[in-house]
Amino acid sequence: MAGCAALDDAGAAAAAAALGARLRRLDLSGCERVGEGGAAALLAAAAGLRSLSLAGNRNVGARTLAAAARLRHLRRLDAALCCGVDDAALARLAACPSLADVNVRACWRLSEQGIHALLTRSTSIVSLNVEGCHRLFGCQGAVPTGFDPQQDPRRPGVLSRRPPGAEPVGAGAGTERPAAAAGQMPIVVIA
């Protein structure tokens, strides 16, 4: 459905009725006429959804993310350029037990409080992109316990989830950064 200029809330509701239970991936990026009602209807019907893209849809926000947070199998969410995404909406995503990859690039209403709330409340998030979220200034206030900033100057805003039992970067003389556990992905926070 990506880029479908004609798709509106009524069409989204019809798609939900016809396809909801079978949907695993849903791409509503660029579907500007789909708002909170249509997106929420689709998500309510799509209990098995694993990947959701809302990128560029300026009409979705808190209600849509609240519906996404109830999806038990959702692993990937792309809400880049969604103007309605704010701190409260982002914090709701922490309730989504499988959510690992979140892109909220250029969601200008986000602040460090929303980022901190998501990262401290969720145990499943492994990747977060906040590039272009202009209210974030280095994200230093958003770095919760258990995360370390990368020491790579090419990626100054990257945070990594610290392996259990490992000391924070820079704790003690000669402390090396612990190697990431097998399959562990970094939390990416680019301001």
> CA-to-CA distance for 29 and 11, rounded, in angstroms?
15
148, β-bridge pairs? 160
Is the CB of residue 9 less than 8 Å from the CB of residue 41? yes
3 state SS of 6: coil
Is the CB of residue 1 less than 8 Å from the CB of residue 26? yes
Percent of the chain having pLDDT more than 70? 70
- The maximal CA–CA distance of the chain, rounded, in angstroms, is 62
What is the residue-averaged pLDDT of the chain? 76
Does the reported pTM lie above 0.85? no
Determine the CATH number of domain 9-165. Answer: 3.80.10.10
Q: What integer pLDDT is reported at residue 76 of this predicted model? A: 95
